[in-house]
């Protein structure tokens, strides 16, 4: 795995308090919400907070959040392109 | 015709759209929004957002009333309502002990608390005074003190429906003949916490909210207060008060679906509306106008439209949200809408939905656009809070006759016995009856030392902590990861009270839940506020905000256990448990619920410790809490504690196994001597009269189980009350205490209730409640009736009567 992948997956696990989840459980193309990890809208907002704190990325509305969090892959891609 | 029907004899309001009812109505008539720039405090991240800030000088308007901004707002609105109704005491036809104050509050003194926390973070805090007004009960006690009320007085904190719940509660107390007159409403000021909190949920529309509009993008935060004087019709008529409107129906439900978002289908909201209509004996077609909750968030407004369709079908009455006039005033919102309803009925006109331009296809209906004259007999108003706590009120014109189908004259129900089916505990003295018995037999629990967070210069903290309370086994990790510690404590206690879960025969709509909490999830609230201040509002913690509301425990129980009836959170210092218990008892007795979970939960926090140390509430060097122990010398103060207890209740005789009976729960305000202590003789008379009214022979009261905590003056007060009660009842009423095990915290009386169950079931010998207290003669034999009696700073008292 690439360094960003390791780091980002660990940050997701920590931000969402996902005790029993390992980075390998977070699949590249699986949806983050609903199915997959079973996350909900409050988790999405806690990820928004993590992205701002750790990567300087601001997401200001739910619609953008939905697109960014479509899957782990879209999130990583977004972080790669927008991190500061 | 029932003369106990609640009518409105006074209204008062202070808001961004005007201070005073006539100024407010003028703003609605002329379509003038109260939204504007934020100047109350600096907000680096959300300072550009339009807010509904009260522009008048609140300190000046409040006169000599001291307290937080929320407290002052509450008093300003209360004063107007009191003046209009002619309630200012001494008034003819008003009895202090039959007058109560019921308020909703959620932000309370947070604005001042933020300043204290900010100064602590900069290590330069000298002024801890704002923490004195931090609590939700602060505004209620201020209003009750100034009004001179001595009847049932409590505070409710179901987030954005709290003001409406307080009004509904006052109406219930009036119908049940506990009160003749009540000041009821809600108040909340703007704060950094709520602004950043709604910001963290991406729910702020910086340009101002646009309720029901296709382009709506969130709320505008507001502040204010509104109050009603509610009165039994017979009382209002007897004293010649002018009746402005009647409160003809009310209903409450819980979505049991999500901590912050409404159930998208609006099932819970519709259930509350239907309940309100049924209670008033009304048909949907009787409603002439709806003052909607209409926050302007995408989710709320779609949900609300669906709920309206569920209830009204294709004939949805004209409706409007007034949020662009006031902003979303949180706990004040339901009360502000109530005042708008009363004005609409008096003026026979209704406001337009400011901010609406284009219809949203998903909503599929449009609100009333303009202020218009409307002949209306009935106006319905909805309030929906975090945790799916829904409350709906229906007001009718003063001269409209009550429906013949309205819930008719009821007999007074407060004496109907209830069965306690189960009890769950999380405490410093263990989590089982056997553990509590052992701890009592040992004379109490030894307080432990806790590490203090680096933020606090006080060093180590000391108190009665629950340690590992079994959350790991009781709550699956996937559910636990989002819950704050206090929510986990309450949930574990609730699961222990229902080891088999809810009986399958009981419908979730008919199960209510009410949790008392003096201070709510302090750990979560502190985490959000500290992060906000340290990071200068960057990266706000949405999950922590969701958990920071006082009703996070009660609504989490509803979500986990699927409880869809009334969901209440009472926040009134040491009688929070009893006020919550009253809601459950009332729902069961009136047949709206078949089962109820009632309890209370509070957690230890360095903030309570810091404030208490400063003012001498705690003594961290005290050996332990030793109630009634006169042999201890020196400066005796209690030590803080924490805990949760939840009880499953049903009507007696309808369910099994019954482990004990609750035959009465009452709360009110005591007549205080100088120094804030109660007059023992008056307390004894109150207890005896209360028992007699409930049909309990005072001679059967064997044991007064008190909240004594070793503080000499309060211990003496409890002791004097027991002596006076013994004289009145003609037999020796013995004393008991429990805080040597629970520690002192706002939910300790729920622990006391657990002990009372053990006493009447013969599982705890009465002498154990006095173990090691040589100056008190312990009771002999197993008590038949235990009176759980609680006194609270701020002037509140409560009584629960527990029988075998």
Note the pLDDT of residue B2: 53
* Chain-chain contact of B542 with A17 (C-beta, under 8 angstroms): no
Residues B386 and B433 in one domain: no
Listed residues B329, B362, B397: the one ending a domain: B397
Q: B437 near B764, Cβ under 8 Å?
A: yes
Helix axis angle for B267-279 and B298-312, nearest 10°, is: 40
Burial class (CB in 10 A: 0-12, 13-18, 19+), B388: buried
Is B535 in the A-facing interface, judged by CB distances under 8 Å? yes
Considering only the beta carbons, identify the residue of A38, A42, A60 that sits closest to B543.
A42
Note which residues in 247-276 of chain B have CB less than 8 A from chain A: 258-261
Note the pLDDT of residue B1: 40
Residue B654 has pLDDT above 90, yes or no: no
Q: Which positions in chain B touch A36 (Cβ < 8 Å)?
A: none
Q: Could you give the number of structural domains in chain B?
A: 2
**Enclosing domain of residue B333:** 6-397
Cβ neighbours of B198 in A, within 8 Å: none
Q: How would you class B732 by CB atoms within 10 Å of its CB: exposed for 0-12, middle for 13-18, buried for 19 or more?
A: middle
Residues of chain B neighbouring A43 (CB-CB closer than 8 A): 482, 543
| A45 → closest Cβ in B202, B481, B538 | B202
Q: Within a domain: residue B357?
A: yes
The string of pLDDT tens digits covering residues B611-640 is: 777 777 777 777 889 898 876 655 678 889
Contact B541 A49 (CB under 8 A): yes
Number of domains in chain A: 1
Q: Does B201 reach chain A within 8 Å, measured CB to CB? A: yes
Instruction: Spell out which residues of chain A touch residue B200, defining contact as CB-CB under 8 Å.
Output: 45, 49
Residues B508 and B554 in one domain: yes
Query: Do B438 and B381 fall into the same domain?
Result: no
Task: Name the residue among A19, A48, A50 with its Cβ closest to that of B481.
Answer: A19
CB within 8 A of B219, min separation 6: which ones?
A: B198, B203, B204, B205, B209, B295, B296, B297, B323, B327, B328
pLDDT of residue B401: 84
What would the two tokens of residue B744 be? Answer: 């002192």
Residue B791 confidence (pLDDT): 97
Q: Is A58 on the interface with B (CB under 8 A)?
A: no
- pLDDT, tens only, B539-577: 999 999 999 999 999 999 999 999 999 999 999 999 999
What is the reported pLDDT for B90? 76
Domain presence at residue B406? no
User: Given CB atoms, is A4 within the 8 Å cutoff of chain B?
Assistant: no
pLDDT at B611: 76
Q: Confidence class of residue B458 from pLDDT cuts 50, 70 and 90? A: low
Q: Which residues of B are catalytic?
A: 160, 293, 328
Closest CA to B224 of B364, B306, B322, B122: B322
Whether B413 is covered by a domain: the verdict is no
**What region, left, alpha or beta, does residue B261 occupy, with left being phi > 0 and alpha being psi -120 to 50 degrees?**
beta
Residue B199: pLDDT band (50, 70, 90) is very high
User: For B108-131, what is the mean pLDDT?
Assistant: 90
Question: Residue B250 sits in a domain of what CATH number?
Answer: 3.40.47.10
Looking at residue B123, its pLDDT comes to 83
**Hey, what are B198's tokens?**
């709604």
Is-contact B493 B485, C-beta < 8 A? Answer: no
CB contact under 8 A, A19 and B201: no
- Whether B403 is in a domain gets the answer no
Q: Which helix (H) or strand (E) holds B389?
A: strand B389-397
Residues B626 and B693 grouped into a single domain = yes
The phi and psi torsions of B797 (rounded to 5 degrees) equal: -140, 160
Chain B residues with CB-CB distance to A19 below 8 A: 477, 481
Measured CA distances, B646 to B369, B382, B424, B496, B643 (Å): 47, 29, 5, 8, 10
Predicted confidence (pLDDT) per residue in B7-51, tens digit? 999 999 999 999 999 999 999 999 999 999 999 999 999 999 999
Tokens of B775: 């100056």
Are B75 and B142 within 8 A, CB to CB?
yes
Question: d(Cα B46, Cα B478) in Å, to the nearest integer?
Answer: 33
Chain B CB within 8 Å of residue A17 CB: yes
Average pLDDT over residues A14-37: 87
CB pair distance less than 8 Å for B539 and A42: no
pLDDT band for B332, please (50, 70, 90 cuts): very high
Angle at B6 between CA B1 and CA B10, to 5 degrees: 135
Question: Which residues of A fall within a CB distance of 8 Å from B298?
Answer: 62
Domain of residue A62, CATH code: 1.10.1200.10
**Closest chain B residue to the Cα of A13, Cα to Cα:** B481
**Is B724 part of a structural domain of the chain?**
yes
The answer to pTM > 0.95 is yes
Query: Mean pLDDT throughout B204-223?
Result: 98
| Domain range for A23 | 3-82
């Amino acid at each position: 795995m690439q360094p960003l992948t390791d780091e980002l997956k660990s940050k997701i696990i920590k931000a969402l308090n996902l005790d029993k989840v390992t980075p390998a459980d977070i699949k590249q193309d699986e949806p983050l919400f609903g199915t997959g990890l079973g996350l909900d809208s409050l988790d999405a907002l806690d990820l928004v907070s993590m992205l701002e704190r750790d990567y300087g990325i601001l997401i200001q509305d739910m619609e953008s959040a939905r697109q960014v969090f479509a899957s782990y892959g879209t999130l990583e891609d977004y972080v790669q392109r927008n991190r500061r | 015709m029932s003369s106990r029907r609640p009518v409105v004899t006074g209204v008062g309001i202070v808001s961004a759209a005007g201070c005073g009812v006539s100024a407010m109505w003028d703003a609605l008539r002329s379509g003038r929004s109260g939204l504007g720039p934020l100047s109350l405090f600096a907000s680096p991240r959300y300072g550009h957002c339009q807010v509904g800030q009260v522009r008048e000088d609140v300190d000046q308007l409040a006169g000599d009333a001291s307290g937080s901004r929320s407290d002052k707002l509450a008093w300003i609105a209360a004063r107007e309502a009191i003046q209009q109704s002619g309630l200012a005491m001494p008034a003819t036809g008003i009895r202090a002990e039959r007058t109560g104050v019921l308020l909703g509050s959620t932000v309370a003194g947070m604005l001042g608390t933020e300043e204290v926390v900010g100064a602590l973070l900069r290590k330069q805090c000298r002024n801890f005074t704002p923490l004195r007004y931090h609590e939700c009960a602060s505004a209620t006690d201020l209003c009750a003190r100034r009004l001179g009320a001595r009847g049932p007085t409590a505070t409710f904190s179901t987030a954005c429906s709290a003001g409406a719940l307080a009004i509904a509660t006052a109406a219930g107390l009036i119908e049940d003949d506990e009160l003749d007159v009540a000041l009821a409403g809600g108040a909340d000021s703007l704060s950094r916490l709520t602004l950043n909190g709604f910001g963290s949920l991406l729910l702020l529309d910086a340009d101002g909210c646009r309720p029901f509009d296709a382009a709506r993008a969130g709320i505008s935060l507001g502040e204010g207060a509104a109050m009603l004087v509610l009165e039994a019709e017979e009382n209002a008529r007897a004293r010649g008060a002018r009746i402005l409107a009647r409160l003809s129906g009310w209903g409450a439900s819980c979505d049991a679906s999500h901590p912050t978002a409404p159930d998208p289908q609006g099932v819970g909201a519709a259930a509350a509306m239907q309940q309100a209509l049924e209670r008033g004996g009304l048909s949907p077609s009787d409603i002439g106008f709806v003052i909607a909750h209409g926050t302007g968030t995408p989710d709320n407004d779609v949900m609300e439209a669906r709920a309206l369709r569920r209830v009204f079908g294709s004939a949805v009455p004209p409706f409007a949200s007034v949020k662009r006039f006031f902003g979303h005033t949180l706990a004040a919102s339901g009360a502000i809408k109530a005042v708008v309803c009363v004005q609409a009925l008096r003026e026979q006109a209704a406001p337009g939905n400011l901010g609406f331009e284009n219809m949203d296809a998903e909503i599929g209906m449009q609100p009333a656009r303009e202020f218009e004259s409307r002949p209306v007999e009935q106006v319905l108003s909805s309030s929906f809070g975090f945790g799916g706590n829904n409350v709906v009120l229906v007001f009718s014109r003063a001269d409209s006759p009550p429906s013949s189908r309205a819930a008719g004259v009821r007999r007074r129900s407060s004496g109907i016995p209830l069965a306690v089916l189960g009890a769950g505990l999380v405490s410093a003295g263990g989590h089982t009856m056997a553990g509590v018995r052992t701890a009592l037999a040992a004379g109490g629990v030894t307080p432990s030392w806790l590490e203090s967070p680096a933020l606090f210069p006080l060093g180590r903290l000391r108190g009665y902590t629950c340690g590992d309370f079994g959350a790991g086994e009781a709550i699956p990790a996937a559910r636990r990861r989002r819950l704050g510690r206090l929510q986990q404590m309450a949930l574990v206690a609730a699961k222990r009270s229902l080891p088999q879960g809810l009986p399958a025969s009981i419908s979730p709509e008919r199960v209510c839940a009410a949790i008392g909490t003096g201070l709510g999830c302090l750990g979560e609230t502190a985490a959000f506020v500290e992060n906000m201040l340290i990071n200068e509002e960057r990266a706000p913690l949405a999950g922590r905000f969701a958990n920071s509301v006082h009703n996070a425990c009660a609504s989490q129980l509803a979500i986990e256990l699927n409880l869809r009836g009334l969901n209440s959170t009472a926040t009134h210092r040491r009688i929070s448990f009893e006020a919550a218990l009253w809601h459950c008892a009332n729902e069961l007795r009136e047949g709206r619920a078949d089962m109820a979970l009632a309890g209370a939960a509070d957690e230890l926090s360095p903030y309570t410790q810091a404030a208490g140390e400063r003012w001498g509430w705690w003594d961290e060097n005290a050996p332990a809490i030793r109630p009634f122990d006169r042999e201890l010398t020196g400066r005796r103060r209690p030590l803080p504690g924490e805990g949760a207890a939840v009880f499953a209740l049903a009507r007696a005789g309808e369910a099994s196994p019954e482990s004990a009976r609750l035959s009465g729960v009452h709360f009110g305000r005591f007549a205080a001597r100088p120094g804030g202590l109660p007059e023992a003789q008056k307390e004894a008379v109150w207890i005896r009269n209360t028992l007699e009214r409930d049909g309990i022979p005072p001679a059967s009261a064997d044991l007064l189980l008190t909240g004594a905590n070793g503080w000499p003056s309060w211990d003496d007060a409890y002791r004097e009350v027991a002596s006076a009660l013994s004289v009145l009842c003609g037999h020796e009423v013995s004393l008991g205490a429990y805080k040597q095990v629970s520690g002192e915290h706002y939910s300790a009386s729920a622990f006391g209730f657990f002990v009372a169950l053990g006493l009447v079931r013969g599982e705890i010998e009465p002498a154990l409640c006095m173990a090691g207290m040589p100056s008190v003669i312990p009771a002999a034999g197993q008590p038949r009736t235990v009176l759980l009696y609680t006194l609270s700073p701020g002037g509140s008292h409560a009584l629960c009567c527990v029988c075998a």
